[in-house]
Chain A
Amino acid sequence: MNEKLIMSKLKKPDLPKAFVTKEEIHKGLAFSKISLVCAPAGTGKSSAVSDWLNSQTSNYLWYSLDDWDNDFDMFLSYVIKGLETIDKNTAKKFQEFTKGYFSLSEKTLIKGIIALLHNVTVPWILVLDDYHNITETRIHNLMSVLLMHLPSNMSFCIISREDPPIHFGKLRAQQKLYELRMSSLKFNLKDTETFFNSTIKAPLNQEQINYFYQRSEGWVAGLQLIAMTLQEVDVIDDFIKTFDGNQDYIMDYLLEEVLYRHSDMSREFLLKTSIFSYFSYELCAFVLELPYETVVLEMEYLLRTNSFLISLNKEKEWYRYHHLFRMLLKQQLRGYKDLNLSHLCKRAGIWYEDQEAYQEAIFYYLEGEQFEEAQRLIEKRFTVMDMELNSASWLDLAKRLPLEYLKSSPVLCLGYGWALLDQGNIHDCQKWFQKSKELYDTVHLTEKSDSIKIHDPDTFENIPIMLLCSKAYIAAINGKYESLLSYTEELTKLARNSRYSRQWIIESFVGMMHWGQGNLIDALKIMINLKEDASNGLSKSVRHTFTWIIAEIYIQKGELTRAKLLLENAIETILENNDLPFLVATYYMLLALIESIRGHRDKAYNFLETSKVYGYRFEFMDWRYKYHLLKSRLYMQDGLYEQAEACIQEGKQYRFLNPAPEVLTLEDLSFWLLMLTDADESKKFFLVDEAIKKLEETSLDLPAYNEEMHWKIILNQAPVEIYGQRLLPICEKLLERGKLQQRDLDIIDYTLILRRFIQDSSQKKNLLNSAKIYSRREGILQPFIEFAEENNMLEDINVMPFEARRAQINKNLPEPLTGRELEILLLIAKGYSNQEISNHLFITHSTVKSYNNRLFSKLEVKRRTEAVAKAKRIGLLK
């Protein structure tokens, strides 16, 4: 986008020629770190803040908001751009962080942004002007959280016509908020006098000043318009006489006066330029079809006489009218039919498009009802914005088009569906894809029809590929790997013959398809290739995501050492570069998984704790789900069935939307727990029967890869004397498939389970030995804990880890501590202050205190040191 254009929105407006400084406002703004300037249009809000900033030494970021800043992405990129002049380093990190944000939850994104703002090293002031234009709730949420956790270096000022939907109540109560409202902004009689003395050449007498003050009620915009009119008036008292007889809305009356007194040329110029939110000489010359010199002369005249014209940058290139003045002009413009609003808007659109300021161009096309033009431009933007992973912003643009223009373009239909799919809306996207296909087919099968519009032929030709991609993606989400297989085959064929630019997506489908079939070797090859290939234009965060996928495949394969090295490296790189650690929680969780597979449950619990510390701040996708998954599995291994059950239930409230196959789900664990703890044999029979029946119905001789865990549980729990005959061949075949695909972890699992179905003791011993040989390579112990028949098979297994001991001690307390209380106890023991705990856990100071009190009463102590001592004594702490 045009650099100057961006900067104009990030420039503080110059002060009007005649400005009356109010000392008490300066004091108020300087006194408080958070200010809310809230008053109707034309009361001098922006000018007051702008004047104050002139007297400040701190850096500031001034951001004038418009309707289109409701695009969250756009909003963030403006903030980043503005931050560059304050702290280049932080701005750069901010940029990298937001690039990958589509995969983060809103909460995480907001937390991440605020964590970044805490890194700004110099004192600075953020000013958001015209905040009333904002309707996007994500922006409101961001501001609310920011106010709660305002960095110490930062001051914050919101300027708005109406009270924004942000929670100020608490700040008000704590007297941390400075509120500047109409009553303080209004001019008093003395201000009015100062103002007239500095604007009008012929001085007014006291009576006249008094009169205008009464008439305008101290309203700044009214006074400015009066001053403007007076410049053209010869006898002031005559003007007062006619003014006095008129009781109409003061601005209407005065504007008509002003326009009436201007020359035709100037009047037309004023009216026409009112279509612009911002304008430059060049833009005016182009849209009004005037010679550049004429525009310069007109503007110079206006700058001398009109205090509603505001210059936006030092170079005096960009200007805007005061909002209220512009609205008045625009209303008048509608009355002048011969000035042709629609034509002006179209030219403005063309100019902006030429400047590559597409958002603005589309805005003007739509404003002038040039839907055809808007449709063309929005269609052409699709591929570009999709490549930049900006489909959500694109969707906001598309939604502004009337429906019939959307439905006449196959590419727009495709984009609409695609953007919905990107947001995870699997259902609603279908009908758009359907429509797109219909239109595509109509064009190809019949003569070219006038009612179907194609502005971007390249994307149009790619419609079949993109539609197939979307089908493959949906199949992957739904875990339908059979259909994914056929889609990917078709895709590979199609892609070879076309110039589809996002080959890497198709390749990752192929990878996932292999993965879903248990073919981890080929899946690995593809994923590693994708990660290493520098030419596919993947962003840093997407590359980090591949690290996670690759590590997960290694683990499923049983290559623990490789996975561990990869993860440790990744964590180190992220922390070293001070990147935002939103994947670190996932990495630590995988490290915990590795330790649990190796039977080091103490270490596993520790890694899980670390993962949680990051996870609560920067969670990635379904981290919460997976955290609970692993934790409940560990509880089960330790025989803590109650805790496991609670943990499973807690985890089930979180989402699990991973297009990559997961071998274990919380449903599996529930099922396992049921088999383990429910003594009712008939229920067991029923469940096993169900599973076998389902397998026979699908006419596959083996369960799908992602259902193997379910089957391990059945094979391990089904009564042998009844089901042995039927289950033995399944177990043998699963073992064989595992061997074929070199999945060591599964091989050990099945080898141990197989022993249940064998009577012969020497054969049993052989199987055990073979499992041990496989386990030795990577030190895999978990299968022996979970699936081996004999107890105490490996000596070091049965040592209960500290976490489990603590859970049991806690359970036996008269009043057990809750998870959160335990967490806070640990932080107290580490020496954290209440404030540090509050920052660490993102809860307020008073919440920490109330936790402390409950914690103390449960432990029957009075202070923190006592609590720690007692907890150590009874074994809650090491």
Chain B
Amino acid sequence: MKYEIRIRGYIQSHWFEALEHIKEVDKTTILRGNLKDQAELYGVLRRIQELGIELISIIPIEEEV
């Protein structure tokens, strides 16, 4: 499943190496990538929380055919 996770601020890529980092002009970052299952998704969310970063949205995106 592919996800787009939007967080407040910019972050260095070493925290989420498996995800693509897109820096937006409104000073948010989109982390985009394939997450195997819910467990992996929660792993990412937990890390965001551990770092004290604000989570804005999570959007699952359809695979392009």
Contact = CB atoms under 8 A, between A and B. Distances in A.
A247 B49 contact: no
A339 to B, nearest CB: 16
B24 to A, nearest CB: 11
B18 interface: no
A161 B52 CA distance: 10
B10 A324 contact: no
Contact of B12 (A42, A162, A252, A327): A252
Given A248-B11, A252-B11, A43 B52 contact: yes
A249 B49 contact: no
Contacts of A221: 52
B61 interface: no
Interface string B6-28: 00011110110000000100010
Nearest to A250: B9
A162 B49 contact: yes
B49 A331 contact: no
**Which residue among B10, B11, B52 has the maximum number of chain A CB atoms within 10 Å of its CB?**
B52
**Which residue among B11, B12, B51, B53 has the maximum number of chain A CB atoms within 10 Å of its CB?**
B51
Nearest to A40: B52
Contact of B51 (A43, A162, A324, A335): A324
Interface in B21-47: 23, 27
A41 interface: yes
Nearest to A253: B12
B49 A161 contact: yes
A587 interface: no
Contacts of B53: 249
A331 B52 contact: no
Contacts of A43: 52
Given A331-B15, A335-B14, A251 B9 contact: no
Contacts of A161: 49-50
Contacts of A335: 14
A219 interface: yes
Contact of A41 (B10, B11, B15, B49): B49
Interface in A43-81: 43
B27 A247 contact: yes
Nearest to B46: A162
A242 to B, nearest CB: 15
A41 B51 contact: yes
B57 to A, nearest CB: 17
Contacts of B51: 41, 249, 251, 324, 327
A222 B49 CA distance: 15
Contacts of A42: 52
Contacts of B27: 247
Contacts of A327: 50-51
A40 B49 contact: yes
Contacts of B52: 40-43, 219, 221-222, 251, 324
Interface in A314-350: 323-324, 327, 331, 335
A41 B12 contact: no
A40 B7 CA distance: 15
A324 B50 contact: yes
A492 to B, nearest CB: 50
Contacts of A219: 52
Contacts of A324: 50-52
Contacts of A251: 51-52
B42 to A, nearest CB: 11
Nearest to B14: A331
A42 B54 CA distance: 13
A41 B10 CA distance: 18
A226 to B, nearest CB: 14
A41 B50 contact: yes
Interface string A782-804: 00000000000000000000000
Contacts of B12: 248-249, 252
Contacts of B23: 247
Contacts of B50: 40-41, 161, 323-324, 327
A161 B46 CA distance: 10
A221 B11 CA distance: 17
B41 to A, nearest CB: 15
A776 to B, nearest CB: 71
Contacts of B49: 40-41, 161-162
Nearest to A334: B14
Nearest to A246: B10
A42 B51 CA distance: 8
A164 to B, nearest CB: 14
A-B residue pairs, 5 tightest by C-beta: A249-B11, A40-B52, A247-B10, A252-B12, A248-B10
Interface of B: 9-12, 14-15, 23, 27, 49-53
25 contacts: A40-B50, A40-B52, A41-B49, A41-B50, A41-B52, A42-B52, A43-B52, A161-B49, A161-B50, A162-B49, A247-B10, A247-B27, A248-B9, A248-B11, A249-B9, A249-B12, A249-B15, A249-B51, A251-B52, A323-B50, A324-B50, A327-B50, A331-B14, A331-B15, A335-B14
Given A221-B52, A247-B9, A247-B10, 10 more contacts: A40-B49, A40-B50, A42-B52, A43-B52, A161-B50, A248-B11, A249-B53, A252-B11, A324-B50, A331-B14
